[in-house]
Chain A
């Protein structure tokens, strides 16, 4: 009569579709696909695909405390049952006809003193050995190893052992009372497992320690005091790794370093009931706690060999929920990947469950994407109608690579040209680089002006802060009503003007400073670029209808011109400000049919009520810079900031680089760029753009540093090492804080000083000498000697010359020699002349000589040295892919 006994599951060691559930009785089940011919009525569904059939029930063994399945093929369904009184009974399920089983079934192994049998473990190699772990008795052992093949107790031993078998033992001939081994005197054994590394070793969780018994010498044991003594189980993939637990905590042990757990897993609030290594997956441990409907998984996949010092391996922890109800027990399938059967705590509800493998994803630095799941590796290829080639072309990684090769970002003079280096076909990049160009231009001009006015400008950074912020500070705005150019007709259009608005127009590129103040320069450049409609619109917004008509005419008559532009010009020339005119009515409705957005906004402008220019301001096909310039001219101080904020937010949300005009290189700009990088992954543009920012402001933003570091990593991954060096130099110029301090020095063998460091010490010494009237040559040491002690530097192993490299320009060198020396120094400073040496054998020489030596040799050039220097250099065999 077992009340509330905890169910457990055992998979057959050899039949992949058989398992046993044990609670108050033993039930043998076969698992199979749902609805297959084999399954009959009365099968229990375990999952959507599988169902179980009950094959046999065995209720011969009451007081079951633990069960273990015989590990060998034959007899195939032999189970050992440990009982509450410490007896171990061999039994079987559904094998009545099997004769091999017969003589073993019913055999009992009885300890001298009754107490609970806590655990059973068959020896995996010598399958006659069955270890039983029992509770404590003051005069008995707690680990008994039975030999199931042993003959029954002889009469003699019965007498000597004073056996008085109780009346329950009807067939006393099947009772064995003499264990093969008795271990753990006056102790309790809570859990057992045989070690895979040697079948003579038995690991036991004793009362307060884990003990390893060696059957070859039972008087000795290895043990460690710990509380984690329950559920000892050895990792099938790593025979030195063992898990055990105590209450809510799992300890992982390495038997080679048994003094303490190599790690303990996070403690669970409820006591653990089962811990099991996945037999099909390396390093995966499943744990179950009481009253829980989840199974917690610990993936120790990337555990480094725990021999090293206190390195805590990384563990990925996650939970799975195989079923709704509380779980009584679970068991991994012995061969089916990551599969387990789970039995509920009540009513024996079973679930067939496969733990879905974690997916790990990796982007390459080029275009490919791969992921791994279980034992599969997937290569992601995007197949579209345009074919693989164009998809790769469109990939940002391909683009950034090509742009890096075309020196994108490095044009620091004609900054706008960088968009051409990027391919010249991305309107956002075009806008961005023009924005940066105008910002830098305005900045330079402002600096020049400030210099003239001898102003110590703190104003200088205002151009970086973006038009949105510039116009916010606008004060002293003048409102004017101007005439149409070339006509004396007064318009009733109010136009606004202020210093800040003027700066904004310059940043938009509409106005230039200097002799040609006004819009004409811009118009001419637009004409040159054959942007007729845009030019006409800009002319119109500057209240010059005639110029607009003239531009349209020019466009119509130009080579490959659009004759329709003449029609538009005609329509334009009919402009009247009469509110109820036919012209106005027709234009305001027909303009929407115009395909070109600039032509469309021209008529929108002419037909709008003053101050209500939504038709222009919200025409998204019109470039942001043109709309912003328009707004700066025609919106009042009240309307303008509102429009700017709205447009800025729109740009930030979309990650549209045209918005940099509004945000400038401010925190707002970084926000916008962040949204752009999130959408495109273009860290290259982000890095170059932010490096142009006013030093020390945006560059401090961790996001910006992240883009820059990622871009550098990308260059490294592409093996664009020269490009990366170039970028670092460029970055160092714009962001001096990024320059790393020298951390490695070449020191002299004799004086131990750095041969480059002493250069800075030179002037002092020189001055010292000059005091005594000695100057020039004595202080100037040869490059082949240490500048500190002037002893010769080591010789090259190949040319046998003393090495030497002028590491930096020494300020101590005499001026007269400068010209002669420069050429020589430049020559010496080339890479071929650099010092290089092997860190292993410490031989070396000129880099050029060494490179050519190792092209044909594997061993060190120094005779009798067999060091394979070049092979030791892991990066030495890599070739930069951007070398010319």
Chain B
């Protein structure tokens, strides 16, 4: 009997928002509360990612209330649900690829085939696949053959039943997926890490500095030295777990033994997708990137932001990744 993987449909109703860099100061109160004072809010899902363009916030409805209304904030008009793949009853062998690569063929590609737009958020702990709430019947229909679908309600999992709506579903078109957006690879290297929530208060000021004062003179001076250096930082606090993505220089600013480092001390390089803002409606972008990586068995993190997508691959694989992706690219 083939033991199916489990796909958990989490209970958070998520909003995706973009805060302009110049508007960040009006939001800091709420963001600090969401990031460091979790017990003061009822927010269970919070993610903040800083890119050169903006801050992308993914937050549940409870957390969204902490943000002010402002012309500096744009909110994607859909409500998103997070999906999470769990190995379930089976016990996968050690050699299996990790992260986005693992789910590229089983989740991302089928969703792309059905024209379902996805928004990805990889963390230290797991990968979240965000889909629009209105697409859920289609998502469930698409994935029900590959997964045991479970819905999380009030912290407990229950079997989710395929809603049985098959009429009107478009037959997937199984076409090759060329890469259509331009790619770039910044020079800096990244760490994906975490820390003990008990030690969060001790590094809170440092984190605030990293989050909100990166545009200061000190850093801009550094970035001017290397034009391909990118400003990228991601913090998430999801169901009590903290995940951090930052470049190697930033990790140097943390005290010893605070950040979790893997035994192998992996470092990651970034592939940035998109020349123009990607928007939320185009499908298959994640699939275009993740499928070749899966084929080459290269582990990856994938972080979507309001305007662009970002994949992280092991530093030693970056050249082969760029090579593999470029051959598929139509943009070149």
Contacts and interface: CB of A to CB of B under 8 A. Distances in A.
A138 B123 contact: yes
Nearest to B98: A139
A737 B131 CA distance: 72
B241 A220 contact: no
A370 to B, nearest CB: 47
Most buried by B among A3, A137, A221: A137
Interface in B234-282: 241, 256-257, 260-265
Interface in A194-215: 207-209
Nearest to A181: B91
A110 to B, nearest CB: 6
B152 interface: yes
A137 B257 contact: no
A226 interface: yes
B124 interface: yes
Interface string A104-148: 000000111111100000000000000000011111000000000
Contacts of A84: 196, 198-199
Interface string B12-35: 000000000000000000000000
Given A2-B198, A63-B257, A84-B196, A162 B264 contact: yes
A227 interface: yes
B85 interface: yes
A interface majority secondary structure? loop
A63 B199 CA distance: 10
B125 interface: yes
Nearest to A114: B260
A187 interface: yes
B33 to A, nearest CB: 21
Interface string A157-187: 0000111111010000000010000110111
A115 B91 contact: no
Contacts of A2: 198
Given A84-B196, A208-B156, A185 B264 contact: no
A164 B124 CA distance: 19
Given A111-B263, A186-B86, A219-B90, A208 B124 contact: no
A168 B265 contact: no
A162 B98 CA distance: 16
Contacts of A138: 98-99, 122-127
A166 B265 contact: yes
B264 A225 contact: no
A112 B155 CA distance: 28
Interface footprint category on A: 35 or more
B221 interface: no
Contacts of B123: 138
A47 interface: no
Most buried by A among B157, B199, B256, B263: B263
A187 B87 contact: yes
B interface majority secondary structure? loop
Given A113-B263, A114-B261, A115-B194, A221 B89 contact: yes
B223 interface: no
B167 interface: no
Contact of A161 (B85, B92, B150, B264): B264
Nearest to B5: A186
Interface residues of B, number: 39
A311 interface: no
A209 B87 contact: no
Contacts of B89: 220-221, 223
Given A84-B196, A113-B262, A135 B125 contact: yes
B69 interface: no
Nearest to A218: B91
B85 A186 contact: yes
Nearest to A87: B263
A187 B156 contact: no
Contacts of A879: none
Contact of B125 (A136, A177, A220, A223): A136
A1 interface: yes
Contacts of B156: 208, 225-227
Contacts of A784: none
A713 interface: no
Nearest to A206: B86
A164 to B, nearest CB: 4
B262 A114 contact: yes
B157 A183 contact: no
B262 A136 contact: no
A221 B157 contact: no
B94 A182 contact: yes
A112 B91 contact: no
Given A166-B265, A227-B155, A185 B92 contact: yes
A135 B263 contact: no
B202 A208 contact: no
Contacts of A218: 91
B268 to A, nearest CB: 12
Nearest to A136: B125
B246 to A, nearest CB: 16
Nearest to A166: B261
Contact of B263 (A63, A177, A225): A177
Contacts of B178: none
Most buried by B among A116, A161, A223: A116
The 9 closest A-B pairs by CB, nearest first: A139-B98, A114-B260, A84-B196, A136-B125, A164-B265, A185-B87, A113-B262, A225-B157, A138-B126
17 contacts: A5-B198, A85-B196, A85-B257, A112-B263, A113-B260, A113-B262, A114-B262, A114-B263, A115-B260, A136-B126, A138-B125, A139-B299, A161-B264, A163-B263, A186-B126, A221-B89, A223-B89
Given A115-B260, A139-B299, A186-B126, 20 more contacts: A63-B257, A85-B257, A112-B262, A112-B263, A113-B124, A114-B263, A115-B124, A115-B194, A138-B127, A139-B98, A162-B264, A164-B263, A177-B263, A185-B91, A187-B86, A187-B87, A209-B157, A219-B91, A221-B91, A223-B89
Interface of B: 8, 85-87, 89-92, 94, 98-99, 122-127, 150, 152, 155-158, 194, 196, 198-199, 201-202, 241, 256-257, 260-265, 299
Interface of A: 1-5, 63, 84-86, 110-116, 135-139, 161-166, 168, 177, 182-183, 185-188, 207-209, 218-221, 223, 225-227, 246
